[in-house]
């Protein structure tokens, strides 16, 4: 039986969960006072740091879900995403519109990656 490791845990959630060779991250957001592009950059920087801590990287992404508060921001968010994702390493991805936890949040990014 494989163990489950939880990192940066509180009673509600863990920022990182590792099961076997798979890394799951909680949804990451940026500074709510920034525009969508800067919020996306902030969230992706947090993802980089958490993946590194978990023994993974953006080159090992398996799946990504991106929630936008408004699909009108799709192009601006994609410009940031396209600059961040390494060529040849695009994960399976979904992007949709949703109300986020704070009305000032414009984007939330959730990823799953391979470890090692």
Query: Which sequence spans correspond to the domains of the chain?
Result: 4-114
- Within the chain, which residues score under 50 in pLDDT? none
- The confidence score (pLDDT) of residue 12 equals 95
Average pLDDT value over all residues in the chain: 97
- The confidence score (pLDDT) of residue 116 equals 85
- The confidence score (pLDDT) of residue 70 equals 98
Strand pairing report for 61-68 and 14-19: unpaired
- The confidence score (pLDDT) of residue 100 equals 97
- The confidence score (pLDDT) of residue 1 equals 75
Q: Which residues contact 94 (CB under 8 A, 6 or more apart)?
A: 64, 65, 66
Pick the CATH number of 4-114 from 3.20.20.70, 3.30.1330.40, 3.40.109.10, 3.40.50.300: 3.30.1330.40
pTM over 0.75: yes
């Amino acid at each position: 039986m494989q163990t489950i490791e939880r990192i940066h845990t509180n009673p509600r959630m863990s920022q990182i969960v590792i099961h076997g060779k798979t890394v799951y991250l909680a949804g990451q957001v940026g500074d709510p006072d920034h525009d969508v592009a800067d919020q996306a950059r902030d969230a992706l920087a947090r993802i980089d740091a958490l993946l590194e801590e978990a023994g993974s990287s953006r080159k090992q992404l398996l799946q990504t879900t991106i929630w936008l508060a408004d699909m009108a921001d799709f192009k601006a968010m994609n410009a940031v995403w396209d600059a961040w994702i390494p060529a040849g390493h695009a994960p399976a991805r979904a992007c949709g519109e949703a109300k986020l936890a704070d009305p000032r949040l414009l984007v939330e990014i959730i990823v799953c990656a391979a470890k090692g």
